[in-house]
Structure 1
């Protein structure tokens, strides 16, 4: 049953990767916490690590099939990408060292605060300029955001899209571009985070719970999630849904709220 559920959630991660730029992290973390609940408090560590591996594949595939003209908006962001990667290493290492329950509490708190921020602060649901005008001259994402975004994203296993999409939206990009650009930026975070997560010893509880881990990663859960996600990404990149920009922004906020609730309700 776990395999069926994980593959079904994988379908959802495929949708969120293409439509919202999440790379699968936000959907993957709560479901892996549920699937590996036998690990107790360590389930969150395993979930964030497994999420990083899933995001490497999902975000990498989504980036590879994104039109080049869209990716050109990331020109001049080498410093940002480098700092995202540096921050991701620090965040992934912190996952190993921090108390087991801290990442879970931080996940719920951060997503909840983000939802409130998107609802109340102008610039996301209510762009300061018409989308068409802003799209013609978008402001670049500040490189200084790279290290903290990378660290928080890797620590929580979310890939950074919850920070980069709102930032790019407020910088002038429409939702369809902001979410597409989130995938290559997620890749910059997920690759070093996954490398750190795959190295080192598994959590001690894994043997007693009969969960096979590689480092902190549950490869079985990752494979099931990817089995569902990759075909969906391939289809939606060829036939992207046409969503009005304002509806798109509200759907993004609604999905964040749903994920926070799922994490609170998971075992």
Structure 2
């Protein structure tokens, strides 16, 4: 029954991947925290690592299914992508040595700070007019993220297992991107961040002994979530639902806060 429940939750993960660019982080961390609560002080570590694996696979599928015209917003952003990957590897490595309480409450603090920022600063719920740069192109999407933010974004995202959308989507929104463009581009950015993060996790010797746990990965939970999520990602990416901008932005905010609350009380 637990496996079937995770498959159904995987459908929700697939939905958030397409609509909000979360790649699963804001859903899988709380869910794995609840499922593996009996691991005690290792729970947050397993949740972060398993979330990274689920996000990576979801991000690969979502990116492959994305229109080339949308991915073009990341054209010539090699410095940003490289620094995101570097940050992702460093964050995953640091997470191996961090106390479990730091991972859990770091996740909650990260969510809380972002939620406050979205409410306090303008530009997220109602985007400003798109800016045209000096070569006549609309400055939105990936162009709204300075390369200097690559390592901090990648590091925090992989350290806590939340993916990069929590920082990249608001940045892209404030640069003039629509919610559809911002959340869609969050998937390839998550792919770049989580690839080295998952590699670090896999190569690290196993430290937790429990059924279905390999290293710090709960492979059974990850498989169930992916079985539920991947078909929905492929289906919805080809038929992206049309959602009013303001509702799309508030949906992102509500899911963000809900994930933080679940981890805080788990």
> One fold, TM greater than 0.5?
yes
- TM-score, length-normalised on structure 2? 0.94
Whether 1:142 and 2:146 are equivalent positions in the alignment is yes
- In the alignment, the residues of structure 2 paired with residue 132 and residue 27 of structure 1 have an alpha-carbon distance, to the nearest angstrom, of 33
For residues 7-86 of structure 1, what are the structure 2 equivalents within 5 Å?
Answer: 7-86=7-86
- Counting matched residue pairs gives 261
For residues 217-236 of structure 1, what are the structure 2 equivalents within 5 Å?
Answer: 217-236=217-236
Q: CA deviation at 1:125?
A: 1.2
Comparing 103-112 with 210-219, greater Cα deviation is found at 210-219
Query: What corresponds to 1:238 in structure 2?
Result: 238
- In the alignment, the residues of structure 1 paired with residue 212 and residue 241 of structure 2 have an alpha-carbon distance, to the nearest angstrom, of 38
Whether 1:152 and 2:156 are equivalent positions in the alignment is yes
Contact (CA 8 Å) 2:144, 2:171: kept in 1 or not? no
Change in Cα spacing, 1:57 to 1:160, as seen in structure 2 (3 Å) is same
Whether 1:180 and 2:181 are equivalent positions in the alignment is no
Which of 166, 169, 184 is equivalent to 2:170?
A: 166
Contact (CA 8 Å) 1:18, 1:62: kept in 2 or not? yes
Change in Cα spacing, 1:133 to 1:245, as seen in structure 2 (3 Å) is farther
Contact (CA 8 Å) 1:199, 1:214: kept in 2 or not? no
Q: Deviations over 1:80-108 (max 9, x none)?
A: 11101111111101111111111100000
Q: CA deviation at 1:133?
A: 8.0
Q: Deviations over 1:99-141 (max 9, x none)?
A: 1111100000110111111011111113233x69899332442
Task: Name the SS for the 1:97 alignment partner.
Answer: coil
Q: CA deviation at 1:25?
A: 1.1
What root-mean-square deviation, in Å, do the aligned CA atoms of Structure 1 and Structure 2 show? Answer: 1.6
Contact (CA 8 Å) 1:36, 1:211: kept in 2 or not? no
For residues 102-113 of structure 1, what are the structure 2 equivalents within 5 Å?
Answer: 102-113=102-113
Whether 1:196 and 2:200 are equivalent positions in the alignment is yes
Query: What corresponds to 1:214 in structure 2?
Result: 214
- In the alignment, the residues of structure 2 paired with residue 128 and residue 233 of structure 1 have an alpha-carbon distance, to the nearest angstrom, of 29
- TM-score, length-normalised on structure 1? 0.93
- In the alignment, the residues of structure 2 paired with residue 256 and residue 85 of structure 1 have an alpha-carbon distance, to the nearest angstrom, of 23
Contact (CA 8 Å) 1:115, 1:257: kept in 2 or not? yes
Q: Structure 2: state its 5+ residue gaps.
A: none
- In the alignment, the residues of structure 1 paired with residue 116 and residue 224 of structure 2 have an alpha-carbon distance, to the nearest angstrom, of 33
Contact (CA 8 Å) 2:127, 2:178: kept in 1 or not? no
- In the alignment, the residues of structure 1 paired with residue 119 and residue 249 of structure 2 have an alpha-carbon distance, to the nearest angstrom, of 10
